[in-house]
Structure 1
Amino acid sequence: MVNNVVRYGIVGVGNMGTGHLHTLLSGKITGAQLHAVCDVSEARRETLKKEHPDLHVYDSASSLFQSGTVDAVIIATPHYDHPDEAIEAFQAGLHVLVEKPAGVYISQVERMNRAAEATDRKFGIVYNQRMNPLYKKLKELVESGELGEIRRTNWIITNWYRSQAYYDSGTWRATWAGEGGGVLINQCPHQLDLWQWTIGMMPSRMRAFCQFGKHRDIEVENDVTAYVEYPNGATGVFITSTSDAPGTNRLEVCGDRGKVVIEDGNLTFWRLRETETEFNARNKQLFGQPECWTISIPVDGTNPEHAGILQNFTDAVLHDAPLVAPGEEGIRGLTISNAMHLSTWLDDWVEFPLNAALHEAELRKRIAGSKFKPEKADAQAQPADLSGTY
């Protein structure tokens, strides 16, 4: 660092890389400056040089990592590339902030996590929805015991409508070889992370039903229903789709002290005066029910989104502030999506910890038959855009 400022580099200047570029150049992030970028597209590099003559522009991640011009990098390249580039950045002595998802399959993310553990550099992931005050408040209610023991979770997240035109816009889109999956790996990483982060539990087993190319000419999943069981006996359902119109985004978390619902930007808590367990033990009325209060929970502030994650990561590098989204935690949501794929492919239950080798073997079968043809892809529509295509 120079003058107590983190010098950033961006690897991959597609949708999300461009977003991070504008955020850093806006001056909104205290203690951060953008110094360098890299991209495989020559046309994009030439545009960057013209529009931002003060930036160092490189044609590869390796050249940026070895340049000495940056202290930290933001990796915003295709999903498959995240782990290898993060590992190389750590080896170059850099702090790393990686876009979601952490990777495509567990073993590559485990290698990335081990590389992070072997260094004293900061490692974060762009789970910007952890900055959302709605989900922060839910996590607070769970951790404080206000909601009691978790009994059930339900998330319907189907407001991801994507037409065939969207899928036809790039040869890498919705392919096993180009993207590594569909709605679970592209649109839903934030929700899969929040699902486990807010309640503080990973599932113990799962049965999932992914439908591939439902109402769309694609090879990957775009409609998913999954049922999970948790170590404490609680259950959960996760439903997502990219062809529902209009879609829904509703999260319910039920505990033995009531129920929380997050929908339409609101958080509502149906709070029981006593726990359901206590009521049930003393109740003698045939149709008796616990007394329940409906409370609209206020949340503080708005969601700072990506700028919030960038500020938090910068503060971690400069002042050792706790990371809101440690990079090592990216494996959790990815494990859930891998489990949904594997359960469907095997047509059976899968247990946690997940059999990562079996998932990878099944994934490679699908990669081998993928329609992705990188040599025919438009240079301007290469998967450098992929991290930003929600």
Structure 2
Amino acid sequence: MELIKVGVIGIGNMGSSHVLTLDQGKIRGAKLTAVCSRNEGRIEWVKNHTTGDVQIFQDEEIFFKEADIDAVIIATPHYSHPALAKKAFAKGLHVLIEKPAGVFTKDVLEMNEDAKISGKVFSIMYNQRANPLYQKIRDLIQAGELGNIKRTNWIVTEAYRPQSYYDSSKWRATWKGEGGGVLLNQALHQLDLWQWTTGLMPKQVRGFSHFGKYHDIEAEDDVTAYVEYENGATGVFITSTGEASGTNRFEIVGELGKIVVENEELTFYRLTQSEREFNATYTGGFGEPEFKKIVVPVTSENGNHSIIIQNWIESIITGSSLLAPGEEGVKALEISNAVYLSSWLNEPVELPIDAELYHEKLQEKINQSTFEKKNVTNRTLDVTGTH
């Protein structure tokens, strides 16, 4: 079988991990043939840590023009994802982008259109979609085991980050460099899973974001968001990088029971009778539907970056379905943009958001910024997979 020749552009934390995965032959049907980075230190790292004949580039234009590749993994800073993806599609390349899809929906929607026109296989590194725990939740909900959803609630505060994390790079948690903080970086996986498992996108969002509350950063490190769905359900999403010890608890309540995910375990509180039916027929005054507590036997796997890469390669070769289609990257981004916009305007916002207004407000944040990091170390962090 002919191998898919893959290039990696961006050799930071995640790009380095993808380089090793490909170079060590962990992805069936693919091989690493080229890398691109502007950073001399990362170029030296590639030379010292790869075993094959890998082309090395420091200029993006030359990379896209001369690299011997069929496909590219884009692992550069956030703002550049859509622009680089569009260049790749124009060159007839298949694309896998790191999350987030971009920083604002305006250029992500343009990227999605270019992907559609190109006909190439486009995926995004939503590796938590490969976690059997969240796949099981999605399966249960799609099978109707919860009935109509009434409420969702996710507390994600186990993404603690010390100041040294933010000091590792000048661009981290700044509006100009990263385009956001905890929502756009650490909690974006949960924002994606929130809508992917339930099948629900909010129709309205009210966001409360606190910027630099616990760290010397410009963007948000503490968020509470309230959402309303088209079917009348409501939801709350709470996240922070400033709480220890943190919590990761996801609840979905439906007419037929409640699903709770915490401590890597899935528990289903299944009602013996629909709550709506019980409410309408019970005559005893005080009372509630009976339930059975079921601990669902499923093993949580939190890494899975290689599964997304493998799925992408297999889709290129065989035409099989993608677990994380790149076009769906706009969904979690839309929620995060809505939370920011609501926080800035101090009012609820409807989805889909006004993409032009959001872009305008973000540019105001960038142009009016006077923030400067005091102790930047320019240090590449551990490449084991955290952002």
TM-score (norm 2): 0.95
2:156 corresponds to which residue?
157
User: Distance between the aligned counterparts of 2:2 and 2:273, measured in 1?
Assistant: 52
Instruction: Confirm or deny: 8 A CA contact 1:99 1:126 kept in the other structure.
Output: yes
User: Larger deviation: 285-294 or 149-158?
Assistant: 285-294
Equivalent positions of 1:269-288 (< 5 A) are 269-288=268-287
1:134 corresponds to which residue?
133
Return closer, same or farther for 1:123/1:189 CA change in 2, 3 Å cut-off: same
Residues 69-102 of structure 1, C-alpha deviation per residue, up to 9 Å, x if partnerless?
1111000000000000000000000000000000
Say yes or no: does 1:20 pair with 2:22: no
Shift of 1:386: 11
User: Distance between the aligned counterparts of 1:190 and 1:63, measured in 2?
Assistant: 33
User: Distance between the aligned counterparts of 2:49 and 2:265, measured in 1?
Assistant: 41
Shift of 1:281: 1.5
User: Distance between the aligned counterparts of 2:260 and 2:210, measured in 1?
Assistant: 27
2:203 corresponds to which residue?
204
1:261 corresponds to which residue?
260
User: Distance between the aligned counterparts of 1:353 and 1:205, measured in 2?
Assistant: 9
Which letter maps to 1:157? V
2:292 corresponds to which residue?
293
Return closer, same or farther for 1:35/1:25 CA change in 2, 3 Å cut-off: same
User: Distance between the aligned counterparts of 1:128 and 1:18, measured in 2?
Assistant: 16
User: Distance between the aligned counterparts of 1:304 and 1:162, measured in 2?
Assistant: 19
Counterpart of 1:156 in 2: which secondary structure? strand
Which letter maps to 1:257? L
User: Distance between the aligned counterparts of 2:371 and 2:102, measured in 1?
Assistant: 18
2:42 corresponds to which residue?
44
User: Larger deviation: 337-346 or 363-372?
Assistant: 363-372
Shift of 1:369: 2.6
Which letter maps to 1:20? H
Instruction: Confirm or deny: 8 A CA contact 1:78 1:386 kept in the other structure.
Output: no
1:239 corresponds to which residue?
238
User: Distance between the aligned counterparts of 2:239 and 2:278, measured in 1?
Assistant: 35
Return closer, same or farther for 1:263/1:227 CA change in 2, 3 Å cut-off: same
| Runs of at least 5 residues in structure 2 that lack an aligned partner in the other structure | none
2:79 corresponds to which residue?
80
Counterpart of 2:66 in 1: which secondary structure? coil
| Runs of at least 5 residues in structure 1 that lack an aligned partner in the other structure | none
Counterpart of 1:267 in 2: which secondary structure? strand
Say yes or no: does 1:344 pair with 2:331: no
1:63 corresponds to which residue?
62
Counterpart of 2:202 in 1: which secondary structure? coil
1:5 corresponds to which residue?
3
User: Distance between the aligned counterparts of 1:194 and 1:228, measured in 2?
Assistant: 15
User: Distance between the aligned counterparts of 2:236 and 2:125, measured in 1?
Assistant: 25
Instruction: Confirm or deny: 8 A CA contact 2:133 2:300 kept in the other structure.
Output: no
Equivalent positions of 1:363-382 (< 5 A) are 363-371=362-370, 381=379
Which letter maps to 2:63? L
Instruction: Confirm or deny: 8 A CA contact 1:193 1:332 kept in the other structure.
Output: yes
Which letter maps to 1:91? A
Higher relative CO (Cα under 8 Å, sequence separation at least 6) belongs to 1
Which letter maps to 1:292? F
Instruction: Confirm or deny: 8 A CA contact 1:102 1:109 kept in the other structure.
Output: yes
2:188 corresponds to which residue?
189
Of 16, 30, 33, the match for 1:32: 30
Counterpart of 1:27 in 2: which secondary structure? coil
Which letter maps to 1:277? R
Instruction: Confirm or deny: 8 A CA contact 1:176 1:372 kept in the other structure.
Output: no
User: Distance between the aligned counterparts of 2:41 and 2:163, measured in 1?
Assistant: 27
Which letter maps to 1:159? E
Which letter maps to 2:349? V
User: Larger deviation: 30-39 or 158-167?
Assistant: 158-167
1:317 corresponds to which residue?
316
User: Distance between the aligned counterparts of 1:235 and 1:21, measured in 2?
Assistant: 42
Say yes or no: does 1:175 pair with 2:174: yes
Shift of 1:381: 4.7
Return closer, same or farther for 1:261/1:169 CA change in 2, 3 Å cut-off: same
Instruction: Confirm or deny: 8 A CA contact 1:162 1:242 kept in the other structure.
Output: yes
Please tell me the root mean square deviation across aligned C-alpha atoms, in Å. Answer: 2.1
Counterpart of 1:284 in 2: which secondary structure? coil
1:115 corresponds to which residue?
114
Shift of 1:273: 1.0
2:100 corresponds to which residue?
101
TM-score (norm 1): 0.94
Shift of 1:162: 1.3
User: Larger deviation: 256-265 or 157-166?
Assistant: 157-166
**Kindly, what percent of the aligned residue pairs are identical?**
52
User: Distance between the aligned counterparts of 1:386 and 1:208, measured in 2?
Assistant: 32
Which letter maps to 1:274? Q
1:92 corresponds to which residue?
91
